[in-house]
Amino acid sequence: MFDYIDSDSDNEYDQVLGQTFFNKYLCVKKLGKGSFGSIYQAIYNKEEYALKLEDRKKKHDLLQNEAAIMNYLQGENIPKVKSYGFTGNYNILIMQLLGKDLEYYLNKLKKFSIKTVCMLGIQMLNILESIHEKHILHRDIKPENFVMGLNNNSNMVYLIDFGLAKKYRSIKTLVQYPLIMKKKFTGTARYASINALKGYEHSRRDELESLGYIFIYFLKGKLPWQNIIAKNKEEKYKKILQKKLEISAQELCKGLPKEFEMFLEYAKNIKYEEKPDYQYLHNLLDKVMKDNKIKNDCIYDWTLEEEKNKYETTNDNSMDINDGKDKKNDNYYHIKVNKKIYYNQFEEPEINCSSACSIF
Ligand SMILES: Nc1ncnc2c1ncn2[C@@H]1O[C@H](COP(=O)(O)OP(=O)(O)O)[C@@H](O)[C@H]1O
Ligand SMILES: [Mg+2]
């Protein structure tokens, strides 16, 4: 979530694997690790879920905000929230299981084609427009927080990680909260807007500027302010800001279709309270597709290889959930992961996320 937070040792949460939470959700695989906790794949009643854990001892308390905002935003490109609660040392959010995030694909492929960037970009832009319409800013727009769906939804991009998200205007009056200078920068410096790095309160414009940097990152495979050497995070943020101020959109987008420069240039010039012209930005991406004779067929740079791999992979690491009830006990079924057998219970009363919802 933050660029410069020391990460915990990799093994800290591994004790979670094989544990069952709320007597239901059995953690079978680690999916990702963030700054304040980890994400696991969990199984209950033969359905798969993603489980986000936050260590209650660390007192960051972002997960409750995240659960509340996701629950409020529920819609097509936001993972469905199943449940929120706490047990023992952890706050736990249970949500729809998704596929890989866009940083994973970029690391694998090094760059994305114009086609992939446009197809992703249109969806990413639509998601931002729809959450802004619902009075919310995400405040940590970056490739790791955009995740592809699974199965029938594998063409769809989802936005995750709403720990830093917040309302930017009154829902009743639509009056935007005032522009203040913050003491601390929040977000991820690499994709942050110039104004966010200067410490200004975020508004809709900042998320679009971040999207502009992300497109360039996808197309070129890197940004000029990566790998900056600094003594501490303050110095690092300062140097990144300096670099962003020095380099023009034109220079940044050299060799790319002109529309990506226009996208960034437009985003950088939106005023704090101004409603961005999402349609104009949409049209820019449409134009790139038209000029390059690109059909929006949802075939991304990774699609064909993934399809091929589906048929070629052996079953050694896969999960096997038995059909029907298990021999051991009628109320249990078994799940085999990496040749290890876990037992999990059938139906239990559902916990709900009303405690989280009520704070919004
Ligand atoms: N619902 C999900 N399904 C699949 N993978 C997920 C899901 N949520 C998160 N992840 C993976 O875990 C990573 C970290 O999750 P995230 O919510 O962004 O945590 P953090 O707040 O610590 O950054 C993501 O970048 C993604 O790779
Ligand atoms: Mg994240």
**pLDDT of the residue at 322:** 52
Shortest-distance Cα residue to atom 16 of ligand 1: 161
User: One-letter amino acid identity for 86?
Assistant: F
- The CB density around residue 305, as the number of other CB atoms within 10 Å, is 12
Ligand 1 centroid – CA 331 distance (Å)? 31
Which tokens hold the place of 127?
């998601």
pLDDT tens by residue, 175-204: 999 888 877 888 999 999 999 999 999 999
Does residue 140 carry a catalytic annotation?
yes
Surrounding residues of ion ligand 2, Cβ less than 5 A? 34, 144-145, 161
Q: Given the residues 140, 161, 206, 301, select the one marked as catalytic.
A: 140
The DSSP symbol for 69 reads: H
Of 254, 246, 159, 167, residue with least CA distance to 204: 167
Which tokens hold the place of 231?
């003594």
pLDDT tens by residue, 207-225: 999 999 999 999 999 999 9
Distances (CA, A) of 246 to 86, 111, 194, 257: 47, 24, 11, 21
Ligand 2 centroid – CA 197 distance (Å)? 19
Q: Tokens 């050497």 map to which residue? A: 229
CA angle 277, 203, 134 (to 5 degrees): 70
List, in order of start, the domains of the chain with CATH numbers. Answer: 3-97+313-345 (3.30.200.20), 102-305 (1.10.510.10)
What SS3 class is residue 308?
Answer: helix
Ligand 2 centroid – CA 232 distance (Å)? 22
pTM: 0.88
Cβ of 36 closer than 6 Å to ligand 1, yes or no, is yes
Determine the Cα–Cα distance for residues 332 and 339; give it in Å rounded to an integer.
Answer: 18
**pLDDT of the residue at 339:** 56
* Residues with pLDDT less than 50, the chain: 1-9, 13, 317, 323-327, 346-360
Shortest-distance Cα residue to atom 19 of ligand 1: 34
Shortest-distance Cα residue to atom 13 of ligand 1: 32
